[in-house]
Amino acid sequence: MKSLVSIIIPTYNRAHLIGETLDSIIAQLYEKWECIVVDDGSVDYTEELLEFYCKKDQRIQFHHRPANRRKGANACRNYGFEVSTGEFLIFLDSDDLLDIAVLENRIRFFKKSLDFLIFSTAKLIEGEKTNYIINNDPFELSSQTYLKMFLAYNLPWQTSSVIWRRKVLQKFSFDEHLQRLQDIDFHISILNFGEYSFERINKIDSFYRINNGIRNDVYLNQVITSFIHFFKKVYSSSLIKYEENFRDFVVFFLSRFLYPNDTKYYKQIRFVEKELLKKANLNYKQRKLLGVKLWIDEKGIRFKGYGKLRNNILRKLV
């Protein structure tokens, strides 16, 4: 008897894209699946479109995020998992696309001993499928090496790359306080739990849409708020033993998001730097440099070459 695969999709105002995603699911050669779409309060014509698709194929379900759940894709994913019944699960974004044989191949490769499978995801650029693979793999394939990659922001796979055995996910959920970095946090939580039995299949079967998106103040605030929340989680958990790997992640966010906005997010920057000085496994030179920068900032000193000094300190931290 064939196993049921649950495909869980959160969506918000994606009526112009999600139809293509659903068409790629309906076209699957493997027919025993359920697709659970959970809406996060869309104000476009998502509801009307999903009514059409639910009538077109009864394997598609449309749900609204319960009013008592925090707004965001994570609550939608968690609720989707709760109402799903499949032995295997795949999480998609509402603009991802699947190859016609995704489910057939993933079930065929899924041996009884495995907890999950990782396939290759390629970029979807301006609606065109490409062979540009997004996945990154360590030299040694293990739960721990993949965990270290996620912690260092060297992302090994996209959410759609993996098919999970249900029992693996029953202990975990997406952090509903995170508006960004949610998939990274989710995968880190799973991989940190222990060693798993899995295989990496070097075959492109899903496509991740590349777009320039809106990079406004709302987006920036979501990214930084989520980063600070995630930063606190790592530094207050057993993940602290991988602190040197995580420092790559921290340095990336300091240079990319925090330092360019150092006036608006002054408190957040000071918090991160002080936590690094207090808890990170820094050598004497690193501690001295970071301490000097904190002293300069607290005194409000600015001088020609300050930016160069700051960038030099960042490079020395990793």
List helix spans (H) across 27-65. 46-56
Query: Strand 198-210 vs strand 116-125: parallel, antiparallel, or unpaired?
Result: parallel
- Per-residue pLDDT tens digits of the chain, which is 318 residues long: 799 999 999 999 999 999 999 999 999 999 999 999 999 999 999 999 999 999 999 999 999 999 999 999 999 999 999 999 999 999 999 999 999 999 999 999 999 999 999 999 999 998 899 999 999 999 999 999 999 999 999 999 999 999 999 999 999 999 999 999 999 999 999 999 989 999 999 999 999 998 766 678 899 999 999 999 999 999 999 999 999 999 999 999 999 999 999 899 999 999 999 999 999 999 999 999 999 999 998 888 888 888 888 888 899 998
CB 23 within 8 A of CB 49: no
Task: Tell me: do 205 and 245 sit in the same domain.
Answer: no
Task: Tell me: do 277 and 132 sit in the same domain.
Answer: no
Last residue of a domain, one of 210, 226, 253: 210
Task: Tell me: do 60 and 145 sit in the same domain.
Answer: yes
pLDDT attached to residue 254: 95
Question: What token pair was written down for 245?
Answer: 């790997």
pLDDT attached to residue 213: 63
Q: How far apart are CA 246 and CA 241, in angstroms?
A: 9
Q: How far apart are CA 281 and CA 231, in angstroms?
A: 15
Task: Tell me: do 186 and 40 sit in the same domain.
Answer: yes
pLDDT attached to residue 211: 78
Q: Which helix (H) or strand (E) holds 316?
A: helix 306-317
DSSP, residue by residue, 243-307? HHHHHHHHHHHIIIIIGGGTTTTHHHHHHHHHHHHHHS---HHHHHHHHHHHHHHHTT---TTHH
Task: Tell me: do 179 and 249 sit in the same domain.
Answer: no
Task: Tell me: do 139 and 16 sit in the same domain.
Answer: yes
Helix axes 266-279, 284-298, angle to 10 degrees: 150
pLDDT attached to residue 214: 63
Q: How far apart are CA 107 and CA 119, in angstroms?
A: 12
Last residue of a domain, one of 210, 227, 259: 210
Task: Tell me: do 201 and 251 sit in the same domain.
Answer: no
Q: How many residues are present in the chain? A: 318
CA 170 to chain centre: 18
Task: Tell me: do 196 and 251 sit in the same domain.
Answer: no
Q: How far apart are CA 29 and CA 99, in angstroms?
A: 10
Q: What are phi and psi of 79, to 5 degrees?
A: -65, -40
Structural domains in the chain (count): 2
Domain hosting 175: range is 5-210
Task: Tell me: do 221 and 205 sit in the same domain.
Answer: no
Last residue of a domain, one of 210, 239, 256: 210
SS3 53: helix
pLDDT attached to residue 307: 86
Task: Tell me: do 17 and 82 sit in the same domain.
Answer: yes
pLDDT attached to residue 65: 98
